[in-house]
Amino acid sequence: MQRLAMDLRMLSRELSLYLEHQVRVGFFGSGVGLSLILGFSVAYACYYLSSIAKKPQLVTGGESFSRFLQDHCPVVTETYYPTVWCWESRGQTLLRPFITSKPPVQYRNELIKTADGGQISLDWFDNDNSMRYMDASTRPTILLLPGLTGTSKESYILHMIHLSEELGYRCVVFNNRGVAGENLLTPRTYCCANTEDLETVIHHVHSLYPSASFLAAGVSMGGMLLLNYLGKIGSKTPLMAAATFSVGWNTFACSESLEKPLNWLLFNYYLTTCLQSSVNKHRHMFVKQVDMDHVMKAKSIREFDKRFTSVMFGYRTIDDYYTDASPSRRLTSVGIPVLCLNSVDDVFSPSHAIPIETAKQNPNVALVLTSYGGHIGFLEGIWPRQSTYMDRVFKQFVQAMVEHGHELS
């Protein structure tokens, strides 16, 4: 890092001499302007390299998992260089949906029935053109779980599918009830504490391809749901491994952080309106259970959860629901290898709530904690359109587990 800083200083001096000879007009012609600009650039570069670009913290509960990741998923030990002009948490979070590309994906939709008479929409990317795994019965399958109101159309999901396609894998996206355009057949939606629908999906997918390697990746609330499922079921799952990204570990801490004035203005209120819109489309299904007029007046996620989600799933209070929804309390029971990527500057999941000490108690768990990256941000490069650090972690980890997972047995 010091070597790079020295190189930048030398380069700035050479640029200054060159530009002072080439430009001779106005402010810049005096050389003072150029010196100020180049001096600022060098100072910023030194600050960036010393304070912003850092290696992530790798926390594991066992030496074998740590060695495995260092050998087969080296990105988790490499310096993460956030986008130099956008490394702040809120900037990364807000920018990602707009700046990252949306690779074209052709889905095959499947609707499956649930025990209560409802239906779940699955979007399949079969990857039948895979040259590496031509036999569909053994083609590795990645189950993807989007965030709070997300679907298979989210850019981060499309990127994961594109990367899986490069590896020759098949993907299936689990869309939560009522959010992907399908009809809601019963008065029930979803929450990250209730894992029944996820259990149904995992059983269904595994029954179709029992001989294929089967992994899952969850983002934000999808990751919370996945961790709660794994914490409940332990090792009795057909999944061989899982990855989560930007999960909220403690729902109380997440809610408190998002209710700070600036975070409420930038994120909380918007997400609340998204939740209201998703249930209002099926308003006629809920009128006997909840006061929908009261629900539509909610101004925060906590108010929405108190008036709708906790009532929908039979919790006595909002505190009971938030306690049950927090994945940190089940982390010690996870029975398969799980990699969890979080940024410590994520306003959705404050750093003090990340269960570092709990993770150290489970040899199946690895936390990868970056200093910057925001919530599902992890932008890197000058113009971070095609790939993010999160994408690289996802690709290396799933490939490592498919090809070398037997080393952890």
Catalytic residue among 278, 324, 375, 391: 375
Does an H or E element contain 28, and which? helix 26-29
Contact 171, 160 (CB under 8 A): yes
The two three-digit tokens of residue 393, written as one number: 């972690």
Catalytic residue among 346, 349, 371, 391: 346
Half-sphere exposure of 339 (CA within 13 A, CB side): 32
Half-sphere exposure of 55 (CA within 13 A, CB side): 10
92: nearest Cα among 366, 382, 346: 346
Contact 47, 71 (CB under 8 A): no
Judge whether 375 counts as a catalytic residue. yes
Judge whether 121 counts as a catalytic residue. no
366 beta partners: 60, 339
The two three-digit tokens of residue 255, written as one number: 């809610």
52: nearest Cα among 78, 82, 77: 82
The two three-digit tokens of residue 98, written as one number: 């707009």
134: nearest Cα among 171, 168, 167, 166: 168
Catalytic residue among 220, 328, 349, 371: 220
Q: For residue 198, give every residue at least 6 positions away whose Cβ sits within 8 Å of its Cβ, in sequence order, or none.
A: 145, 174, 225, 226, 229
Q: Which amino acid is at 372?
A: Y
**C-alpha–C-alpha distance, residues 283 and 276, integer Å:** 10
Judge whether 346 counts as a catalytic residue. yes
Computed from CA positions of residues 185, 186, 187, 190, in that sequence, does the dihedral angle turn out positive or negative?
Answer: negative
173 beta partners: 123, 144
313 beta partners: none
Phi, psi of 390 (to 5 degrees): -60, -40
Residues involved in catalysis: 220, 346, 375
